[in-house]
Structure formats: C-alpha cells, structure tokens
Structure 1
Amino acid sequence: MEDELWSAEFTSLSDAIRSGRVTSLGLTELMLARIAEHDGRLHSYIAVAPEMALKSAMEADAEIAAGGWRGPLHGIPMAVKDVFYTMDIRTGFGSSMYDDFQAPYESTATARLRSAGAVMLGKLTATEGVYAGYHPSITEPVNPFGDAHWTGNSSSGSGVAVTSGLAYGTLGTDTGGSIRLPSACCGLTGIKPTWGRVSRHGVFPLAESLDHVGPMARSARDAAALLHAIAGADPSDPTAASVAVPDYMDGIDAGIGGLTIGIDRDFIIAKATPEVVASIDAVVPVLESLGARFVAVNFPETRPILYGWHTECSVEAALAHRDTFPARRSEYGERLSALLDFGHRVTAFELAEAQQARRAFNGAVAAMFAPIDLFLVPALPIAGPTLAHMATLGPDPDGILAVGPFNAPFDICGYPTITVPCGASSMGIPMAFQLAGKPFAEALLCRAAHAYQGVSDWHRRRPNL
C-alpha cells in the first residue's frame, strides 16, 4: 500500500482524502519519511519544513472532515523550486548569498497553491540564479534513473523530488527550457504555459521577458490541476494576462479526434540524435490512432534567435542582479558571473538586433500555426544526456544551441508547451516529446497529453531507489 501511495498521481488520491480513506497527515508523514531516507543521496531539497508541513496537514484533514474540501490539491504535500518567495521557508535562489534573506511577501503562485489547500514540504534545489550552473555551495541533485546522467536545468531538484516520491507535484520556472528539460530527464509531465498565463510576482527573475512559471507533475491530469490553481490575472503583476482561466480538468477526457498536428521532420532530424528521432516516429502513429491528423510544416530557422536568446537573457539577467553584481562578484559562481559579464558588454545595437530577430521569428511562428492545432517536437535533442557529455558543451550560446533547439524557441515566442514521457533511452533514462500550442491553448495541450497517457504508461515509470 505504501508503494502505491508514494508513486500515485495526486489527482487519484483526492477522492480518498476527501472521503477520509487516506489522510493528508498520513501522506505528509510518508513524504517526510522518504525525504529523510533518500534525499541524502538525491539532494533534491535545499530546505525542508517538517513541523510546518505536519501542522498544515492536520489542519487540512480537519477542514476536509468538516466539509470544507477545496479541490484536488487540498491536503496534497508539495514543494516548490527555490526561486519563489515564501515567508515561512527560506528562499535562497540557488546561492549562499541569500542565506540570511527573508522574503518580504509571499509569491502569488505559492499563495495560490496554499489557498487551494496544498501542504508545503519545503524548497527544491535549483541552479544559481536559475541559470546553467550550480553555485559552489550547492550540491547538484542526482538523477534517480542513473547517477551519471543529467537531471536537466534549472528546476533540477523539482524533477528529482517528484519522480522519486518526495513530493506529489511542484512549480518550476522556464526561461530556456527549465521546466521541460528536467521533466524530460526525470519522466515527468511539465507545462510551460503561455507567457503571462501565470503571475511572476514574487519569483526571482532570470530574464523577465522570457521567464515562465508552470507545473511539473506525474501526469497531464495532475499538471492540469496544478495549472488551474495558479493561473490567472494578478494586480501585483501587470504582465499577468487577464484572459479567463478555464478549468483545465474539465474536458480533459474529450480526446484528440479531428485535431491537426504539425511536424517538421527535417528540423527534428537536423537537431536530434537518431534515437530521439525514432522516439518521435513512434509517437506519431499513437496520436494518429487516437484520431489526430499530421501535416508537414516548416519551423522557422532557430540559430539566429537562439543567439538572440542569449543576448536578451544576459542583459535582462544583468538588470535583475544590478544590486549585487559586480559589487559582490566574489560570491557568485562561474557560470552566472560569465552570463552577467556578457550582459554588461552587450551594445544597444546588439540588443536591438536580437529584439528585431525575435519579432520576425514570432511572426513566422504565428504563420506556421495558422493551419494547425498543435506542433510536435522532441523535448531534448539527446536521449538521456550524461553529465560527461554536458560538460563537453561549448560556452553559451553554443550550449543553448546544443541542448535547447526544441525548448528556448518557445520561451522566445511565449507559446505554451507540454512535455510528455514517451520512452526510455538505451541506458534507461526517460525520454519525452513536446506538444506546442497557440497562445492560451493549455487546455488543449492537457487534453492531448492525457489522451496519449491513456494508452501509454511511460508517465507511470518510477525510479528504483
């Protein structure tokens, strides 16, 4: 029974909690016990708050018993990436510089999680400043499917914790792939929503025009429930869209009959290894059998805008860190320092050129999407990349070109995507595909991913700890 509980999708436990067959306190004690048993090796948590979590779980049980059930997140133990302001759990942004930092307010996203009744277990390990490398004071999380393999950046602790049964769901951030990369490497379903779909108030930025907040979970249904809890307009974030939020769980079982999905096989073959190409080739007939129709499309050229991504990211990151960099340079790690130095060197001409390329790319993406409902691409160009391989990648932006050709473009245009497990590499590491949609098409993405997961079980695969 315990194995079934720790590995379950939380939406499958909601009715049991509501009826009293399972308690929030029992699930929270199970998560805390698993954290104590396994996280000394996995390093997914940077801070755990057991007393607070247990108190919240008891309060949830009492409220539910009194008929005050709030929805599918009520009483579910979760954790969030260490980039969200939380007033009762330390917030460190992946750096020792903020060891004494006290968040002055709660992030909108975590406040909405708590309002939905979620139990907060703690904060999850992230790369420094949610960029590409870990601060020297931080121990890198371990991929539970294989110690020698990459966990994905920068929401790495989030990916490790949820797949390992140390939390039932989490929130991550994505600037160049940081929800989707760890989701792919750890066998999770991750949603990078439309830019502005989720408030960024109280989320430390990497690059504000590229940053997205979204869920990482064990299934499309779980991810849909999480997204519904956090999405929507926010008076504290003027960039949060005022578009109405649908119930992403409503209609998730409707299937994908009649949908048109675009695919650019030349783009995939040019950027991905044969093993990844084969995984996508295997997904196509499954989606066709569910009623989708595939058409060939041409994805816009990515190389210029990936270089532009690095230019814009570096300048916006330098702006975000202007109070501490370069004044406290010695407290920064190597990778983030290099990005910020680059941002300080970018000229107005170079930035304008990147922005101009971005506008042209966004227009081309909109034109490509006009005749289709969804677009299929891999989540990663490499099947289960090893740490050794990642160490050989060149300095940015070449590293972005090597790892993010299927990720960063959708941060640049702000279109939503969902990452869905679809196999295992020759070394047993999860593999995944992405479906991208038009702006605010998250409900359709959840529906399509859920349809695929109804006839596959890759999303139910858990590591053997």
Structure 2
Amino acid sequence: MTSSTTSANSGVEFRELHEVSELIRSGRLSSRDATEAMFDRIADLDPHLLSFVTLMRESALAAADALDASLARGDWLGPLHGVPLAIKDLAYTHDAPTGAGTTIHADFRPDFDATVVARLRAAGAVTLGKLRLTEGAFTGHHPDLPTPVNPWEPNTWSGVSSSGSGVATAAGLCYGSLGSDTGGSIRLPASANGVTGLKPTWGRVSRNGIFSLAPSLDHIGPMTRSARDAAIILEAIAGHDPNDPTSALEPVPRYSRQLTLDRAPVVGFDRELAAAYFDAATNEMLESTVEVLVDLGWRVVDVRTPDLPAAAQTWTALCGVETAAVHAETYPARTSEYGPDLAALIEVGRGLTAIDYHELLESRREFTGRMRRLMADIDLLLLPGVGVASPTISQMENLGSDAELFNAVTIPTAPIDNCGMPSITMPAGFSDRGTPLAAQFVAGDFREELLLAAGHTFQQATDFHTRHPHIVAV
C-alpha cells in the first residue's frame, strides 16, 4: 500500500460531512448511494488499513433506504440525515458486538445503544460499523488483534485508542466518527492521521453505554475532516442525559450556526515548555501556526502553563486506579487474557494505597485550579496535538522506556483530561515524510463554541485539512 497527498477536489469519499449532507438534502445524492460507496471503498481498502472491527452493512442500508424515503416525504432530520458515520467499538450498539479492543469482551452484545449512538441515529446518521481501538482504550492493541494502519504512510504511528476512528475518517471510509479521549485518544490519532478531533468538556457528552477506561477522565467526541463537521456531530450528541448523572446540565448551543468569531481571541503560548519538551519539527509547526493566527488579527501572548509534565505523571497513576476498578471482575481472575500494556496499567493502580490516591486527587485539584486561573486571562491555549512530529511505529515501541518520548507524547494531551477542559486538534503542517502534523487549541470549561469557531476560522485561512492521503491497495 502506498500513499501520497491529493487535492481537495478528490471524489465524493473525501467530501466534508456538511457537503455530503447538502448533496443528500438536495437530492443529488441518495443516502443509499453514499452508504454503498462507503462499503465499496471499505471493501477495497480496509483489508489493508484494518480500521473496522465490525461492518453493519444490512442495517446500514436499511437505515439509508428509510432515510431516503422520509426525505422524499419532506421529512428532513437535520444535517446528519442520511450521512454514513462509524462508531468506536467501545460505544454500545444493540445490533452489533461491542468488544472495546479486548478478547475477553469480543462477543459482548449489549441490549441497548449508548446514548451517543442513539442520538446520532435519531439525528439521521447511518451507522456503517464499529472501529478498532486499543485494548480497553489504553495505549496498546491486544497482541492477538490487528492494529489499524496509517493511510498516509504504513510505517507511521496511527495513534492510540481511537486509531481506527482516525484511520477510517482520514482514508475516506466514513464522513466522520466517534472517538474517546482519556489521555489523548481523540487528539493523538487525529494528529497522526490528519483529521480534526474535538475533546469536549468532561460531562458535555453522556458516557452512558460507553466501556470505560477511567470514568473521571473519559471524554466522548467527534473525529471529522473539519471543525465545521465536528460542530454538527457535537450538536447532535451533547447535552444532559438522565442515564448519566455526571452529564452536564448546561444547554447545548447551536454549534454549527456559531462558527463566526465575535472578536479576535487572545491565544496563550508557552514557548519555554515547547522548547524544553517538543522536537524541532513540532516547534516549527507551532511557530508557523502562530504566524497564521497573527495574520488573522489574533493576539498571541507568552504564558507560563502550570506544571504539565507533573500533571502527565499524575494522570498515569490516576488512570491506573480507575482502570483497575473497571476491570475488577476480570483482573486478576483472567490475567492471561490481557495484553501487556493494559495489564501493566492495572498493576499500577492495584499497587497504590488509599493515601497515594488521596495525594493524586489533591494534585489533580490543584492543577485544575491553576489551569482555570490561566484560562481566565486568555481565550485559547496553543499546544501541539503531539509533541514529537509524526512518530513512526518503531519510535513508539519505546514509549514506555523513553522518558523524553513519553513527555513529548503525553504533555500536550493527558493534563487536559486531568482538568476536563475542551480542546480541538487540527491539521497544521506536514513532516519531511509528507505525514500530518497538528496544532491544538484548549479553551475554558464549556467553551466548545469558541473552539469550533476558532478552528473553523483557522481552517478557512489554511488548507492543511483539505489534503488527503491517496491510498493504493496492493
């Protein structure tokens, strides 16, 4: 399989979600034709890319036909009407297994849909199938299961947990997908595969019917080709859910209709942090991003962030405790069925005392307070999507043993899960190998409308998100 950059004028497979929505609404494209085209492309390319774990062809085509018929009667459900999407395989689906990247739960068939899946279906989305993820949504794929392949270059890392979502969205196998982010698992695969990933505020989106990695850190959000598309999906899935008492009560804005900034935002950038922990190519991408923002008339100011490296270390231990609790019924009882990465995380959690956990929570609360203080003075914080530019698979094999690499990967993402603030990651450049690089904006709690408007404005001024991998199956 080979890959190269193509222009934005590729076939319909690379159209943005909102463009396909308009084609369907206007009658120029039926939902059935769009859905069949996706399945044909999946059949051609996914035997090599390995992004799907389950295809739902029969139910998807039935849904597409029903949506075409309702549209013919004048019943349009909104911008997701008839649009083919795909779901990360940790969200429950009543009509397909939900394995969460494990072998233990590979045959688990829930009897209800996760709230996010139910809301997408109610909004008219067609569910193509379930997307691969790392074991239990942690860092490593189970050794007995396939790893999704980056469509830009097969030796390039495809990201962590939501790698299947990133690969499928980037490769034109769906018009958007759901991912989850506990330590960076929306933003890292979005970075690696050159798509837009939105991590909402913790609680903004229901976690009902989601297989947890660490409940107080888990976030569900969209992975799409643009900020505009992310706004459409977030609008459909966000909002309080009585079945998830931790979901937020704040009303859901019309994100897709609020993509114009009412003023130029103030963007904070910690150059000392970037110089100390991120590689040269990443720093060059960040400085190029700053130039774009300044040209847009935004004000970029130097800031000192709270101790992000310490927060990233705290994240690992906190995640371990919560993951150990999630897996208490099967670990250690079925230890031999676990892969090494997830097992090691659970052991970290099981090895901590109550006092250790209390100290971790205190550290997390203090960090969150400092982040809120920082965000009171700025509108957005600029970070990379990942602090090492487009790492290769061989590089990432050293993630657990290379402290410098661990910091570069986790510092831009894991601390933002600790504090629960929303962020958006977008294509912002390319490596020397022609693989994607990404910038990230962080905003204050429940300021997704600002993130999406800022992301849309950035994407109107750049063309990184319009470039796609050209994949030739072999």
Match 1:64 to one of 71, 75, 79: 71
Structure 2 residue aligned with 1:39: 46
Structure 2 residue aligned with 1:334: 340
State the distance in 2 between where 1:279 and 1:305 align. Answer: 24
State the distance in 1 between where 2:368 and 2:229 align. Answer: 30
Unaligned 5+ runs, structure 2: 1-7
Structure 2 residue aligned with 1:403: 409
Structure 2 residue aligned with 1:28: 35
With the length of structure 2 as denominator, give the TM-score of the two structures. 0.96
**Percent of aligned positions that are identical:** 46
Q: 1:177 to 1:142 in 2, by over 3 A?
A: same
Match 2:301 to one of 269, 291, 295: 295
1:2 positional shift: 10
1:399 positional shift: 6.4
Structure 2 residue aligned with 1:193: 200
1:51 positional shift: 1.0
Q: 4+ residue stretches of structure 1 with deviation over 4 A?
A: 395-400
Structure 2 residue aligned with 1:456: 462
Q: What amino acid is aligned across from residue 319 of structure 2 in structure 1?
A: C
Structure 2 residue aligned with 1:155: 162
State the distance in 1 between where 2:22 and 2:253 align. Answer: 22
> 1:237 is paired with a residue of what secondary structure?
coil
With the length of structure 1 as denominator, give the TM-score of the two structures. 0.98
CA contact (8 A) 1:393 1:402 kept: no
Q: 1:207 to 1:455 in 2, by over 3 A?
A: same
State the distance in 1 between where 2:208 and 2:380 align. Answer: 29
1:195 positional shift: 0.4
Indicate yes or no: 2:242 matched with 1:235. Answer: yes
Match 1:95 to one of 85, 90, 102: 102
What per-residue deviation string (whole Å, max 9, x for no partner) do you get for residues 51-84 of structure 1? Answer: 1111111111111111111111110001111100
The 5 Å alignment of 1:388-399 reads 388-395=394-401
1:460 positional shift: 1.0
1:94 positional shift: 0.5
Structure 2 residue aligned with 1:250: 257
CA contact (8 A) 1:256 1:447 kept: no
1:398 positional shift: 7.8
Q: 1:242 to 1:397 in 2, by over 3 A?
A: farther
Match 1:412 to one of 418, 421, 426: 418
CA contact (8 A) 1:305 1:354 kept: no
1:397 positional shift: 8.4
CA contact (8 A) 2:386 2:408 kept: no
> 1:11 is paired with a residue of what secondary structure?
helix
> 1:173 is paired with a residue of what secondary structure?
strand
CA contact (8 A) 1:184 1:380 kept: yes
State the distance in 2 between where 1:319 and 1:379 align. Answer: 29
RMSD across aligned positions (CA): 1.5
Indicate yes or no: 2:185 matched with 1:178. Answer: yes
Structure 1 residue aligned with 2:427: 421
Indicate yes or no: 2:256 matched with 1:260. Answer: no
State the distance in 1 between where 2:424 and 2:451 align. Answer: 6
Indicate yes or no: 2:83 matched with 1:83. Answer: no
CA contact (8 A) 2:388 2:408 kept: no
1:271 positional shift: 1.3
> 2:468 is paired with a residue of what secondary structure?
coil
Unaligned 5+ runs, structure 1: none
Q: 1:73 to 1:390 in 2, by over 3 A?
A: same
CA contact (8 A) 2:100 2:106 kept: no
Q: 1:368 to 1:389 in 2, by over 3 A?
A: same
1:348 positional shift: 1.2
Indicate yes or no: 2:297 matched with 1:322. Answer: no
Q: What amino acid is aligned across from residue 244 of structure 2 in structure 1?
A: D
Greater RCO (CA < 8 Å, at least 6 residues apart): 2
CA contact (8 A) 2:399 2:406 kept: no
> 1:454 is paired with a residue of what secondary structure?
helix
Q: 1:9 to 1:214 in 2, by over 3 A?
A: same
Q: What amino acid is aligned across from residue 266 of structure 2 in structure 1?
A: T
Q: What amino acid is aligned across from residue 333 of structure 1 in structure 2?
A: G
